[in-house]
Every structure is written in C-alpha cells, then in structure tokens.
Amino acid sequence: MISKIKKEKHREQNKHSDLESEMAKILELKRNFNWRIIRIQYRKLMMQYHPDRVSHLGKEIKDLSKKKTIEILEAYDYFKRKYSK
C-alpha cells in the first residue's frame, strides 16, 4: 500500500515538473530562471506577439498572434501563482 502512495506522489511530481517545463518553454526560459527573469522574458515576448502590434498584418498573422499571446499569458500566470507565496 505504501509503495502505491509513493508511486502516485512521484507521478504527481513528474506531472508538475512536465507542466513547469512546458510553461518555461513557452516563455523561452533557460535553466536556473527566477521571478525577475520570468517577468523580463514575459514583457519581451508580449512586445513581440501582442495582437495590437501586428494589427496591420494579415488575418492569419493576427490569429497566430492571439494564440501565442494566450499561451504567454497562461505561462506567466502559472509562474506568477508559483512565486507569489
């Protein structure tokens, strides 16, 4: 019974680690990042992908920009909740 609990806890930790890796990848973060680096990278990416900055381009680019902005916001929100203890 104990080994089942340990396995489940290990699975949960791996799941969390995978999610964090995915969020870090979205924000283009390298290893050993901290809250300051996350904020800087978030602002940099939002300047690049914000829909208002590409409003003069075609519909496909605007749609891609909206999708990427949502991903960036979700990743930033994930780290914001993690670091705001």
What CATH number does the domain containing 27 carry? 1.10.287.110
Tell me the angle at which helices 2-26 and 59-83 cross, rounded to the nearest 10 degrees. 130
Q: Give the total number of structural domains in the chain.
A: 1
User: What per-residue confidence (pLDDT) applies to 5?
Assistant: 62
Structural domain for 8, as ranges? 2-83
User: What per-residue confidence (pLDDT) applies to 56?
Assistant: 85
User: What per-residue confidence (pLDDT) applies to 13?
Assistant: 56
Q: pLDDT of 1-50, one tens digit each?
A: 556 665 555 555 555 678 999 999 999 998 888 999 999 999 999 999 98
Q: Stretch 63-81: mean pLDDT, rounded?
A: 95
SS3 helix, strand, coil % of the chain, rounded to 5? 80, 0, 20
